[in-house]
Structure 1
Amino acid sequence: MKEVFLHHIWKYKLYSTQNLKTYHGDFIEIIDGGNLNFHAGPDFLEAKIVIGDKLWAGSVEMHVNSSDWNLHRHNDDLAYQNVILHIVWNHDCEIDELRQRNVQTLILQDFVKPEIVYNYQNIINSKFERIYCEEFLKEIDLKQFSLWFERLLIERFEEKTEFILQLLSKNNNNWEETLFKSLAKNFGLKVNVEAFEIWSNSFPFDVLQKNQFDKVKVEALFFGQAGFLDDNFENDYYKQLKNEYNFLKIKYKLEPISSSLFKFSKMRPIGFPTVRLAQLSAIYGEFSKLFSEIIIQNNLKSYYKLFEKIELNPFWETHYTFKNESNFQTKNISKDKINNILINTIIPLRYAFERVRSEVEIDFYLDLLQEIDPENNSILDEFVRIGFENKNAKDSQILIHLKKRYCSEKKCLNCAIGHHILR
């Protein structure tokens, strides 16, 4: 039994009010159960409760065991002097100080239906890496939670916004630089995200801005700083980039990172860090003010058009690395990659920018995500298997947040579905 479960029962009145009485025999009428306190002090504040023939106003404190009052040393804390009712699950001892103040004890488990406790323990005590409430979902119409699902999406936006604002602060409130470093992590994928983050911080952003007039200089800067221009390959493109980078290195006193930080093994060639750097350099060779471009687009088609026109250096049509030639394949940014950029970088960044300016139009983001194809991974497959919809990126983002912030953390009491099941 967890104390947070007692909070949930009390807050949502999941107990029988008929013949509700204290351990000491007085009947109770709950006028107002109080407000859950998220800070130090009693669990519920500003409660109004009739105990016997008297109306009491003050705080309510809850414990799994009565003895926890002494264990937590509440007698020594003035904040607990206003407690009017002590609610416990197990009454294992009397608290002398409370009896002296005529504060009574309510044993909550005597008034809670066994199935509520059973359902809670079934969910919380599960040891499997799955959706814990799966067995209950067959009897539930998930469409009734549509508004709550949208709230989850906004929670996800807000969570990402906090990270973006922290990054923005480190970048002296420069949105263009913040976009660049966010995109760099995106292009690193899971395997190389740390390497791309280190790389994006290895040179001043204004060095990139000063050289965006020349696409070759941008490519040279990107590959040179990643340590990929330290060899002596004989192709003309490589030699050109190396010469350009040597000039930039001296001019701006640059220090490249080691190319050994980047991982190639067990990756599809299209995901090689060299290909991703080529794509990223093509973007910044095309747009000198990319952030300004992304915040003025007004629909999905305009975003596709923005990125689909970006072309890589022809060298990459027959290469995945500088070393070996390969069969012809265009390496331009695919629709799936554009979707990934939108979902994980552009939409969160644009939302954060508009929130700072108090200009958020939430329907724009909901509609945009609803147009984008759904994401696919094992987490989403599991949700679909047990009855959830994953028809678009809006669904995907909701389910990922649900899994990450509710299911995995076992916050079933904070989940609308979990709350419905417990009722």
Structure 2
Amino acid sequence: MNFPEDFLHYVWQFKSFDNHNLKTVHGEELKITHQGFLNKNAGPDFNNAKIQIAETVWAGNVEIHLKSSDWLKHNHQNDASYENVILHVVYENDTEITRIDGSVLPVLELKNRVAADLIHKYEHLFLTLTDFPCVAQIQYVDKIIIDSFLSRTVVERFEQKTATVLNCLNRLKGNWDETFYWFLARNFGFKVNALPFELFAKTIPQQIYAKHKDNALQIEALVFGSAGFLKDNFEEEYPKKLKQEFQFLQKKYSIKPLEVSMWKFMRMRPQNFPTIRLAQFAALIVKSNHLFSNILEIKDTATLRELFENLPINSYWETHYHFKKEATSVSIQIGKASVDNILLNTIALFLFAYGKHTGTQYYISRAIKLLESLPAEENAITTKFTQAGVKMDNAFTSQGILQLKNHYCDAKKCLSCGIGIKILRQV
């Protein structure tokens, strides 16, 4: 018996045991009309079950244990909420259990009713040391089953992320534009510089930029100055002008710049240097007016992409990756893969979160449609699933896979996974 109690929950829920000639351990005839509904909160395992024992029909709760003595280990004998248990389902009956009122609790023993093949298949899934339990079996699962469960995991993933968005929204007193600006800035950090980008965004509120929208140099000075890159002495004209502008703006708005040491350059392609990303971010501020409001109005992916293309980036960065360091032919526009990343991790998320917050299904549907229009992500996790036979159709699939791996596979929640359940039922 190398399985947890959750396995018996699965066995009972899906009647994955020999149902013929059922009897209680005391020899009374037993008929199951309804197994009840799995209870994920405190109390008996299944609620609202309906069974018949001998000539009596019972409606109530079902409790499940590996051994009947677990009832005592869990102290149910002193818990009044277990008084309405009508059946105790156990793998092995090792002791007689009575309720608080002294009546004997009816018991169904499953020890000789669960197929050995089913137990073996579950143990193989649960004890596997590979990247995900069903790595050898998932290729044989119908794509409809996989897609159906991934639809659930995508929603789970975005609901979890939405909670973070709404928490930030609450701190910003319901200001969607500022909340979006914070998350977009963090996204521009692309993991390695996500934190300094987030801190940088919090240094200067969006409304300050709005006061200088008509002056690109001042916007760039605010961006590079608050990020901490204008503390040196410069010889080139462009950074000298930036520093001069920032010294005035810093005093005007009481800006406290970040420490430049926070920004990471090591082991990065020059196109991903934070200086280039900051130049792009500054250009996006100059180009875009009421960016989040515009995104709510835009209905197609191509137009959303245009928001991040052909940005008015200062020509200085065409020959520099960093201040004081010249280069030749620098690619300064945001690449397609990076735009896809922003559309996926910020735009789709905020459409979903806004739809959830306002109760507007239209925006939730747009978020899902946007995911379906973006290419699937390529990373260590999605690669493993692709190699196992899962087809990555688009970002909707890859997002679902990430949630599946992180919250089901890693936790060995095969019995809560539609794919795992399908594999187990193929006995």
Aligned equivalents of 2:211 and 2:64: distance in 1? Answer: 62
Q: Is the 8 A contact 1:62 1:87 kept in 2?
A: yes
What does 1:7-156 correspond to in 2, within 5 Å?
7-97=9-99, 100-128=102-130, 130-156=131-157
In 2: Cα distance, 1:88 partner to 1:271 partner? 58
Structure 2 partner of 1:226: 227
Give 1:405 shift. Answer: 2.3
TM-score, reference length from structure 1: 0.94
Q: Secondary structure at the match of 1:288?
A: coil
* Matches of 2:214 and 2:112, distance apart in 1: 75
Aligned to 2:373: 371
Query: Aligned AA for 1:193?
Result: A
Q: SS of the counterpart of 1:19?
A: coil
SS at match of 1:307: coil
Asked if the contact 1:98–1:104 (Cα under 8 Å) also holds between the matched residues in 2, the reply is no
Query: Partners of 1:12 and 1:323 in 2: how far apart?
Result: 68
Q: Which residue of 1 aligns with 2:253?
A: 252
Partner of 2:355: 354
Task: State the 1:351 CA deviation.
Answer: 1.7
Distance of 1:149 and 1:315 partners within structure 2 = 46
Q: Distance in 2 between matches of 1:295 and 1:114?
A: 55
**Do the aligned residues in 2 keep the contact of 1:217 with 1:244 (CA within 8 Å)?**
yes
Cα contact 1:311–1:332 (8 A) shared by 2:
no
SS in 2 for 1:232: coil
Structure 1 residues 23 and 332: alpha-carbon distance in aligned structure 2, compared to 1, 3 A threshold: same
C-alpha separation in 1, matches of 2:74 and 2:421? 29
> Once the 2 structures are TM-superposed, how far is the Cα of residue 34 of structure 1 from its aligned partner?
1.3
SS of the residue aligned with 1:133?
A: coil
Asked whether the 8 Å contact 2:25–2:108 carries over to 1, the reply is: yes
Deviation of the 1:98 alpha carbon: 7.0
- Residue 33 of structure 1 and its aligned partner are, at CA, apart by 1.2
Correspondence 1:270 to 2:271: yes
State, as a whole percentage, how many aligned pairs show the same letter: 40
Indicate conservation of the 8 Å contact 2:321/2:330, yes or no.
Answer: no
8 Å contact kept, 1:46–1:57 = yes
- The alpha-carbon deviation at position 290 of structure 1 amounts to 0.8
AA in 2 matched with 1:117? I
Return the alpha-carbon distance in structure 1 between the equivalents of residues 122 and 210 of structure 2.
56
Q: C-alpha separation between the residues in 2 aligned to 1:48 and 1:174?
A: 51
**CA shift for structure 1 position 148:** 3.1
Contact 1:64 1:89 in 2 (8 A): yes
Cα distance in structure 2, aligned partners of 1:209 and 1:68: 65
Q: How many residues align?
A: 422
Judged with a 3 Å threshold, the aligned counterparts in structure 2 of structure 1 residues 201 and 60 are, in CA distance, closer, same or farther, namely same
2:401 aligned residue: 399
Q: Shift of residue 67 of structure 1?
A: 2.1
Q: CA deviation at 1:48?
A: 1.2
SS of match in other structure, 1:295 = helix
> Which residue in 2 is equivalent to 1:341?
342
Q: 1:212 aligns to what?
A: 213
Deviation at 1:99, TM superposition (A): 9.4
Displacement of 1:315 in angstroms is 0.8
Aligned match of 1:172: 173
For 1:268-287, what per-residue CA distance to the aligned partner results, in whole angstroms no more than 9, with x for missing partners? 11111111111111111111
TM-superposition CA deviations, 1:85-136 (whole Å, max 9, x none)? 11222333332447931211222232211111111111111223x1211222
2:58 match: secondary structure: strand
Q: Which amino acid aligns with 2:20?
A: Q
Amino acid at match of 1:345: T
- For the residues of structure 1 that align with 2:92 and 2:248, how far apart are their CA atoms? 75
More deviation, 269-278/101-110: 101-110
Structure 1: segments with no counterpart, 5+ residues: none
1:187 pairs with 2:185? no
Tell me the secondary structure at the aligned position of residue 250 of structure 2: helix
Shift of 1:409: 2.2
Matched, 1:411 2:413: yes
Deviations, residues 5-47 of structure 1 (Å, cap 9, x unaligned): 2222211221221122222222211112112222211111121
Q: What's the RMSD between the two structures over aligned residues?
A: 1.9
2:139–2:390 contact (8 Å) kept in structure 1: no
Q: Which runs of 5+ in 2 are unaligned?
A: none
Asked whether the 8 Å contact 2:77–2:98 carries over to 1, the reply is no
Contact 1:16 1:111 in 2 (8 A): yes
**Partner SS state of residue 331, structure 1:** coil
